[in-house]
Amino acid sequence: MKGMTASNDGNFPGLRARLLEGLLTASIYGFGVSLLFGVGTHDIFLYLSAAAVVGLALPARGRCRISRPMAALLALVAVLAVQGYLMAPAGGIDLRFLEHLSWPVAAVAGVIMLPERFGSGRRPLHKPLLAVLSVVYVIAQWMGFAAYPGKFGLFSNPHVLALYCVLTLPILFYFSVAAGRGAMQGLFLLALLADALLLLKTQSRPGFLALLAGSLAIVPFLAARRRRTTVSAILAVPALLYLSGIYGFDARVDDLFANALKEERVAIWTETAEMQSASSAREWVFGHGFGQFYRDYPAYSSFHAVVDFSFPHNFLLELLYSHGVVGLALAISAYALFFRTLLSRIASADRPGQRQAGLLLIVVATAHLAHAFLTLPFFSRSTLYPLSLILGAGFRFSKANHG
């Protein structure tokens, strides 16, 4: 199953192909481990993934087939990169934006191209490895809290820890259901509880909202008689957390409702809208370019004396300012197409396991979008690196359930 495939006509010696498949598998999992545990080796694994993808995709004759989703992704990356640099003022070139946009494509392709079978016919243990990584992630973060009191687990930013909690919680829930009754289910349920407590320790309100959004995303797929019960159960969780007051959950909720209009993000959005209104017609259409928000915002910011924000904590406003209506429309269309394709493949899935995997992708993708939307810059590694793994898994699932 490949989004970028090489013709299997004997041009690749068997040993070379197996070595490349092994390198790709190790690189993709190494990339995931680097993100989950805050290890600064993710770029190295991306480079190795890119090398393995090229080696597997290009046969000796130099011909390569690229699937439509990958072609669309490459086109989107190219358009956003070119537009972002063309609209940036002279002397304002920052190549980090190109790096953050382009290298994750290797991870997307790498996930799609992960081998279904190795040379002897044994299946790679992708599901067990994902389960183990999720459990080990929870253990490592709690150990991080014990070892580094001034940090949030293994991260310095609570929102980054919250991001990976909202990504791993659905995965642990999935495995706790799939494991059936017994010791394994108990292990996953324990890890699920510990992961939820990690999220609570971050006190990240966007994290709570993202998990709530991801949970509610599966409701339309349930039988009609179960929807009301499921929604009630989902909404009961924050209600119980509020009543318990665990990790200051009640205080965070009270503060949100008492000071909603004074909330930092609301002020940034209001000031960004004012700044956007001063744009020329061309800037409305094509944007101001990469990095220009950081340069322009201090003149409008009420926080300038304390801190200068580099992004508006809102994907819509960020993309509109950097890439205009054109870039914003392209990004929204890409997200909509991704979710629409997932929904279509879930509907056509003929096995319960496939449907469950598709629903897991919907939950994880929704939670990632909701959390990153409010807390992270769109054109950052913190957003695009984990997104690349989600896109790759989504493309792989769609390919497997096509037709």
337 Cβ contact partners less than 8 Å away, ≥ 6 residues apart? 72
Measured distance CA(156)–CA(160) in Å, rounded: 8
Measured distance CA(249)–CA(228) in Å, rounded: 25
Q: What is the DSSP letter of 67?
A: -
C-alpha to C-alpha distances, 220 to 113, 176, 401, nearest whole angstrom: 31, 22, 20
Cβ atoms within 10 A of the Cβ of 189, count?
A: 16
What residue ranges do the domains of the chain occupy?
Answer: 68-95+271-403
> How are the residues of the chain apportioned to helix, strand and coil, as percentages rounded to the nearest 5?
75, 0, 25
Q: What is the DSSP letter of 222?
A: S
Which one, of 57, 46, 51, lies nearest residue 104 by Cα? Answer: 46
Measured distance CA(111)–CA(114) in Å, rounded: 5
Which one, of 15, 48, 14, 16, lies nearest residue 29 by Cα? Answer: 48
Q: Cα-flanking dihedrals φ and ψ of residue 151, to 5°?
A: -115, 175
Pairing of strands 4-5, 65-66: antiparallel
pTM: 0.92
Q: What 3-state class would DSSP assign to 65?
A: strand
Whether residue 102 contacts residue 73, with contact meaning beta carbons closer than 8 Å, is answered with no
Whether residue 97 contacts residue 114, with contact meaning beta carbons closer than 8 Å, is answered with no
Measured distance CA(72)–CA(335) in Å, rounded: 12
Measured distance CA(378)–CA(367) in Å, rounded: 15
Which structure tokens are listed for 118?
């190795």
Measured distance CA(124)–CA(221) in Å, rounded: 30
Environment class of 28 (CB within 10 Å of its CB; exposed 0-12, middle 13-18, buried 19+): buried
Measured distance CA(109)–CA(50) in Å, rounded: 8
Per-residue pLDDT of the chain (403 residues; tens, 9 = 90+): 445 544 444 444 578 888 998 999 999 999 999 999 999 899 999 999 999 999 988 754 555 678 889 999 999 999 999 999 999 987 667 899 999 999 999 999 999 999 876 656 566 578 889 999 999 999 999 999 999 988 999 999 999 999 999 999 999 999 999 877 788 999 999 999 999 999 999 999 999 999 999 999 999 998 898 999 999 999 999 999 999 999 999 999 999 888 887 888 999 999 999 999 999 999 999 999 999 999 999 999 988 777 888 999 999 999 999 999 999 999 999 999 999 999 999 998 888 889 999 999 999 999 999 999 999 999 999 999 999 999 999 999 998 877 5
Whether residue 208 contacts residue 159, with contact meaning beta carbons closer than 8 Å, is answered with no
The phi-psi region of residue 248 (left if phi > 0; otherwise alpha if psi is between -120 and 50; otherwise beta) is left
